[in-house]
Amino acid sequence: MDLTPSPLARPFPALPVIDGVTLRVARAGYKAWNRSDLTYVELAAGCAVAGVFTKSACASSEVEMGRAQVEQGRARALIVNAGNSNAFTGYRGREAVEQIVAQVAEALDCPGDEVFVSSTGVIGVPLPKDKARAGVAAVLGAESCGWEDAASAIGTTDTFTKGAAAAAFIGDQRVELAGIIKGSGMIAPDMATMLGYVFTDAAVDPAFLQEMLSKANEATFSCITVDGDTSTSDTVLLFATGKAGNAPLTTWDDPGADAFYAALHDVCRELALLVVRDGEGAQKFIEIAVTGAADDASARRVGLAIANSPLVKTAIAGGDANWGRVVMAVGKAGEPADRDRLSIGFGGTWAARDGQPVADYDEAPVAAHLAGQDIRIEVDLGLGEGRATVWTCDLTHDYISINADYRS
Amino acid sequence: MDLTPSPLARPFPALPVIDGVTLRVARAGYKAWNRSDLTYVELAAGCAVAGVFTKSACASSEVEMGRAQVEQGRARALIVNAGNSNAFTGYRGREAVEQIVAQVAEALDCPGDEVFVSSTGVIGVPLPKDKARAGVAAVLGAESCGWEDAASAIGTTDTFTKGAAAAAFIGDQRVELAGIIKGSGMIAPDMATMLGYVFTDAAVDPAFLQEMLSKANEATFSCITVDGDTSTSDTVLLFATGKAGNAPLTTWDDPGADAFYAALHDVCRELALLVVRDGEGAQKFIEIAVTGAADDASARRVGLAIANSPLVKTAIAGGDANWGRVVMAVGKAGEPADRDRLSIGFGGTWAARDGQPVADYDEAPVAAHLAGQDIRIEVDLGLGEGRATVWTCDLTHDYISINADYRS
């Protein structure tokens, strides 16, 4: 596996300390590698939690348990295993997760359903219980570490570590948010699940925390795609320790709720875009802005149809302003569209308007835009007020090499 | 463009003469090439017609007109333009089609709605009316030709010409079917629309002809995919001249209706599979058999989710028995599935059964199967009686080269 950083990589940013969050990493040895692969996050008592999970019908035991655990709204610990996704492993996989939960819950003297577990890596191999037990024992006694160590330990085929931060005022109280994420395909189930974790010291009621995370997810993580292949393990968890001491947020009407949501949205968006920037084989970052759709949800589906089209993605890889392929992708999306109202542009230059090529279309500025690394495709459906922005990367020879030439 | 025949190519078969069908080709010069690119099929008066068309919301004028024309059930002529799809060209594109229809209708002294037109090639450039007018004049006066000439003239980036035949008895009367098709992506809108035409001398009522074509389409053309990108121009037309002299078929209860349908299905299936065999960059032909689904439609959607997964397709390209990626694709299909009842095999060997890896799984026969050219993936959902078979090809470096490295 080639771990040369993606040409679209970003350096790891400075992330704030979040009061009530302690990070530790250790080496369980889930694969034959010389690196930390087990991450433990200890959370202050009373920490609120919210989560969004893959919609896969074949989700892992970790996801199944996480979906149930998040209902009660509180978390004391997070364990992340890297190198083995433990997906499609039947009762043996389930037993491994239950063992980890019991071991951590005993150490913290907390209910088992407050211990969250994620796993990422090869599919179809039950997580080895002996390695997990020894690894958890080691990590419980490890020194605390910083964000970049944790972001690195949760990674698998990621070519760079990924984090993001934001802050907001709730009343007079400044609150901090810090997030880490891993992923380099929207999913490659034997190597590249997307796992994201956001931590804040804000005090937020769990039900409202879930409402905000679900809303932010719709506009960020749910608007990215690398290859259209949805993971069996995708998970985003949001932990709010409450240590900032603000008046707890419970509804959108609370002072500071909008500011906190904006900061949360920013962190989620940045984390999501970092995953696209590490998309397998990516050479170009592509933003697709859809306007004039019947509604926002329709705009998002049209955007994702474009973002998932191998013909659009290869055209961008080749620097080809092939707007005919964008027309094709709009047409196949299954959403309301009218050929004769459709307009398509690249980087601010319309190539086609109202169902026809622009008469005096000058391809020079478009070619210059497409020669760059950050590409923007504009699509106006001319029907209504619905809009959405989605993000993807191009489809290159390196994607084929990573996924075909490499024999797992 | 590399026109080396696909490694999966099949030689053009012997096709029968169909009484009431006359083929002619000419060179309109839609592109700067030295080959026939305009095909004209004259059909005996009273010929019945049925058609299925792309579901794209951005379909070409040809498709829009074809959808309307087929309603009245009769056809006297078919014109196919190669090198320019005339899609997304607004009123100018529409005018070009109307000109062709008028020119042919006048020559044949027939209603305009009995003249069918298809076009394939670059998108967004109105079909040049002067070239079309001269080309149609030339083809109306050309010598008649054979099936292979016509199959070649409708092609664009196809690497080999494609045809199929079958015969059936309706009562004591033998009837013949012959079909030709072009396409090397399910669609690449600037180069590779799928256009298919089937001709028979059988006498069949137009409404029943449509019913049979729609049914055959569901199990054949609608079950193939190269890249999941749906054309703005895909068209399949079925013409029945009635010259065989059989008692006209009007319902499924008529003697010979089942036999005729079986022959029609065989021709459609063979034509569809030939398109997969010319899939852009294809090195391996993949059949995906889904059983145990909630119903047949669900099985087909699961099969297509697998067939369209870039991770599954690259795994097959790499000879990798990566059944975890098949699990992923089943999970994302949005269809009823139960992880713990799911079984996956390759070429007759189960790799996973009932949600777990097979305990004594021997990868040797699977590896041998995947080293071959004809690959079979078996998926049993363990839920019901629904089943479907879909076909695709692998995703290779050549797909990227054809669609990214080549600047249109």
The verdict on A312 and A255 lying in the same domain is no
pLDDT of residue B385: 96
Task: Write the CB contacts of A217 (distance below 8 Å, at least 6 apart in sequence).
Answer: A52, A236, A268
Work out the minimum CA distance from A126 to partner chain B, whole angstroms: 9
The verdict on A52 and A175 lying in the same domain is yes
A24, A141 Cβ separation under 8 angstroms: no
Supply the residues of A annotated as catalytic: 193
Q: Which residues of A touch B340 (CB under 8 A)?
A: 90
Final residue before a domain boundary, out of B227, B246, B277: B277
Q: Which residue of chain B is at minimal alpha-carbon distance from A316?
A: B404
Which amino acid, one-letter code, is at A341?
A: R
Q: Where are the beta strands (DSSP E) in B123-204?
A: 162-170, 173-182, 195-200
pLDDT of residue B182: 87
Q: Which residue of chain B is at minimal alpha-carbon distance from A232?
A: B328
CA–CA gap between residue B114 and residue B217 (Å, rounded): 22
CA–CA gap between residue B49 and residue B44 (Å, rounded): 12
Task: Write the CB contacts of A211 (distance below 8 Å, at least 6 apart in sequence).
Answer: none
User: What is the domain range of residue B31?
Assistant: 21-277
CB atoms within 10 A of CB A405: 14
- Domain annotation covers residue A1: no
The verdict on B134 and B53 lying in the same domain is yes
Question: Given an 8 Å threshold on Cβ–Cβ distance, is A330 in contact with B58?
Answer: yes
The verdict on A162 and A273 lying in the same domain is yes
As given in the structure block, the two tokens for residue A139 are 């990590």
Per DSSP, B196 falls in state E
**Whose structure tokens read 């396409």?**
B183
Query: What b-and-e string marks burial along A334-369, b requiring 16 or more CB atoms within 10 Å of the CB?
Result: ebebebeebbbbbbebbbbbebbbbeeeeeeebbeb
Q: Which long-range contacts (CB under 8 A, 24 or more apart) does B382-385 make?
A: B382/B292, B382/B338, B382/B341, B382/B342, B382/B343, B382/B354, B383/B292, B383/B293, B383/B294, B383/B336, B383/B337, B383/B338, B383/B341, B384/B292, B384/B293, B384/B294, B384/B295, B385/B292, B385/B295
Given B58, B311, B400, which is nearest A229 (Cβ)?
B311
pLDDT of residue A229: 73
**Whose structure tokens read 């994620």?**
A118
The CATH code of the domain that includes B270 is 3.60.70.12
CA–CA gap between residue B250 and residue B78 (Å, rounded): 24
The verdict on B248 and B359 lying in the same domain is no
Question: Given an 8 Å threshold on Cβ–Cβ distance, is B318 in contact with A230?
Answer: no
Q: Which residue of chain A is at minimal alpha-carbon distance from B336?
A: A57
Question: Given an 8 Å threshold on Cβ–Cβ distance, is B56 in contact with A331?
Answer: yes
B290, B307 Cβ separation under 8 angstroms: no
pLDDT of residue B189: 39
The verdict on B167 and B306 lying in the same domain is no
- Domain annotation covers residue A158: yes
- Domain annotation covers residue B3: no
Final residue before a domain boundary, out of B277, B297, B323: B277
pLDDT of residue A405: 66
A34, A47 Cβ separation under 8 angstroms: no
Question: Given an 8 Å threshold on Cβ–Cβ distance, is A88 in contact with B357?
Answer: yes
Chain center to CA of B303: 18
The verdict on B273 and B289 lying in the same domain is no
Given B56, B324, B338, which is nearest A190 (Cβ)?
B324
Question: Given an 8 Å threshold on Cβ–Cβ distance, is B310 in contact with A310?
Answer: yes
Q: Could you give the number of structural domains in chain B?
A: 2
pLDDT of residue A191: 43
Per DSSP, A112 falls in state G
Q: Which residues of A touch B329 (CB under 8 A)?
A: 229
> Which contiguous run of DSSP H or E holds residue A299?
helix A296-307
Question: Given an 8 Å threshold on Cβ–Cβ distance, is B58 in contact with A336?
Answer: no
As given in the structure block, the two tokens for residue B362 are 């021997």
Q: Digits of tens for pLDDT over chain A (408 positions)? A: 346 888 888 889 999 999 999 999 999 999 999 999 999 999 999 999 999 888 888 888 998 999 999 999 999 999 999 999 888 888 889 999 999 999 999 999 999 999 999 999 888 889 999 999 999 999 999 999 999 999 999 998 888 899 999 999 998 999 999 989 888 754 434 445 678 889 999 999 999 999 999 999 888 888 888 777 777 778 888 999 999 999 999 999 999 999 999 999 999 999 888 888 888 889 999 999 999 999 999 999 999 999 988 889 999 999 999 898 899 899 888 899 998 899 999 999 999 999 888 988 888 999 999 999 999 999 999 999 999 999 999 998 888 888 886 544
Question: Given an 8 Å threshold on Cβ–Cβ distance, is B324 in contact with A90?
Answer: no
Q: Which residue of chain A is at minimal alpha-carbon distance from B322?
A: A408
Q: Digits of tens for pLDDT over chain B (408 positions)? A: 346 888 888 889 999 999 999 999 999 999 999 999 999 999 999 999 999 888 888 888 999 999 999 999 999 999 999 999 888 888 889 999 999 999 999 999 999 999 999 999 888 889 999 999 999 999 999 999 999 999 999 998 888 999 999 999 998 999 999 999 888 754 433 445 678 889 999 999 999 999 999 999 888 888 888 777 777 778 888 999 999 999 999 999 999 999 999 999 999 999 888 888 888 889 999 999 999 999 999 999 999 999 989 889 999 999 999 898 899 899 888 899 998 899 999 999 999 999 888 988 888 999 999 999 999 999 999 999 999 999 999 999 888 888 886 544
Q: Which residue of chain B is at minimal alpha-carbon distance from A367?
A: B407
pLDDT digits (tens, 9 = 90+) for A297-306: 999 999 999 9
- Domain annotation covers residue A4: no
Q: Which residue of chain B is at minimal alpha-carbon distance from A190?
A: B324
Q: How many CB pairs under 8 A join A and B?
A: 230
As given in the structure block, the two tokens for residue B49 are 């017609």
Which amino acid, one-letter code, is at A31?
A: K
Final residue before a domain boundary, out of B242, B277, B312: B277
> Which contiguous run of DSSP H or E holds residue A271?
helix A257-277
The three-point CA angle B41-B42-B48 to 5° equals 100
Q: Which residues of A touch B89 (CB under 8 A)?
A: 356-357
As given in the structure block, the two tokens for residue B6 are 């696909």
The verdict on B153 and B242 lying in the same domain is yes
Q: Which residues of B touch A315 (CB under 8 A)?
A: 403-404
Question: Given an 8 Å threshold on Cβ–Cβ distance, is A311 in contact with B405?
Answer: no
The verdict on B189 and B296 lying in the same domain is no
Which amino acid, one-letter code, is at B279?
A: G
- Domain annotation covers residue A310: yes
The verdict on B105 and B201 lying in the same domain is yes
Which amino acid, one-letter code, is at B380?
A: D
Question: Given an 8 Å threshold on Cβ–Cβ distance, is A87 in contact with B403?
Answer: no
Work out the minimum CA distance from B400 to partner chain A, whole angstroms: 6
The CATH code of the domain that includes B348 is 3.10.20.340
- Domain annotation covers residue B4: no
The verdict on A146 and A207 lying in the same domain is yes
Given B54, B228, B318, which is nearest A404 (Cβ)?
B318
Rg over alpha carbons for chain B, rounded to the nearest Å, is: 22
CB atoms within 10 A of CB B362: 10
pLDDT digits (tens, 9 = 90+) for A150-202: 999 999 888 889 999 999 999 899 999 998 988 875 443 444 567 888 999 99
Task: Write the CB contacts of B265 (distance below 8 Å, at least 6 apart in sequence).
Answer: B216, B219, B220
Output the DSSP codes for B68-91: HHGGG-B-SEEEEEEEE---S-HH
pLDDT of residue A261: 94
Q: Which residues of B touch A61 (CB under 8 A)?
A: none
Task: Write the CB contacts of B238 (distance below 8 Å, at least 6 apart in sequence).
Answer: B49, B50, B51, B197, B198, B199, B200, B209, B212, B213, B264
pLDDT of residue A192: 52
Work out the minimum CA distance from B243 to partner chain A, whole angstroms: 39
CB atoms within 10 A of CB B262: 12
Work out the minimum CA distance from A271 to partner chain B, whole angstroms: 22
- Domain annotation covers residue B68: yes
The ipTM of this complex is 0.81
The verdict on A348 and A229 lying in the same domain is no
pLDDT of residue B185: 59
Q: Which residues of B touch A366 (CB under 8 A)?
A: none
Q: Which residues of A touch B334 (CB under 8 A)?
A: 55, 57
- Domain annotation covers residue A11: no
